[in-house]
Amino acid sequence: MNSDHFRKLERMYLQANVNTKIFDTTTADISYGKAEIGLMIEKKYFHALGAIHGAVYFKLLDDAAFFAVNSLIEDVFALTTSFNLNLIRPASSGLLNAVGEIRYQSKNLFVAESRLFNEQGKEIAFGTGNFTKSRIALSEKIGYQ
């Protein structure tokens, strides 16, 4: 697999509006069948109890699993069709790291799992998602450059 593909996916991810305007401390490291997404916790992600909102857990876990899948697909964009999220413990400071890996693949169905760790390396959440190929070409038009 071409490492240029992984770098293009990383740039596409990091340049997306959601990551430049909201989650502006995001990092990405994509390789064959695996993706790591990092985020420094900021108070803007907190719910009323002073820990990060579940939506942030979801975003990181889905993104890691999604890009693990898209690392295997060089022609079109993948799509999440379902994602199951399991929260284990809260997080309120430090760096979060989500690691996504492929569990199963067929012609058009991919299953990936991801695990979210706090700065001390403790697992704080995990998830499993189903993904499929779209008809949207990976191109500069969507930031794949």
**What does the domain layout of the chain look like in residue ranges?**
3-142
Of the CA atoms within 13 Å of residue 6, those in its CB half-sphere come to: 14
Q: Which tens digit of pLDDT belongs to each residue from 78-122?
A: 999 999 999 999 999 999 999 999 999 999 999 999 999 999 999
**What backbone phi and psi angles, to 5 degrees, belong to 131?**
-135, 155
Non-local (6+) Cβ contacts of 22 within 8 A are none
- Are the C-beta atoms of residues 2 and 74 closer than 8 Å to each other? yes
Q: How far is residue 61's CA from residue 75's CA, in Å, rounded to a whole number?
A: 23
pLDDT at position 1 over 70: no
Domain 3-142 in CATH: superfamily?
A: Hotdog Thioesterase (3.10.129.10)
Percent of the chain with pLDDT over 90: 96
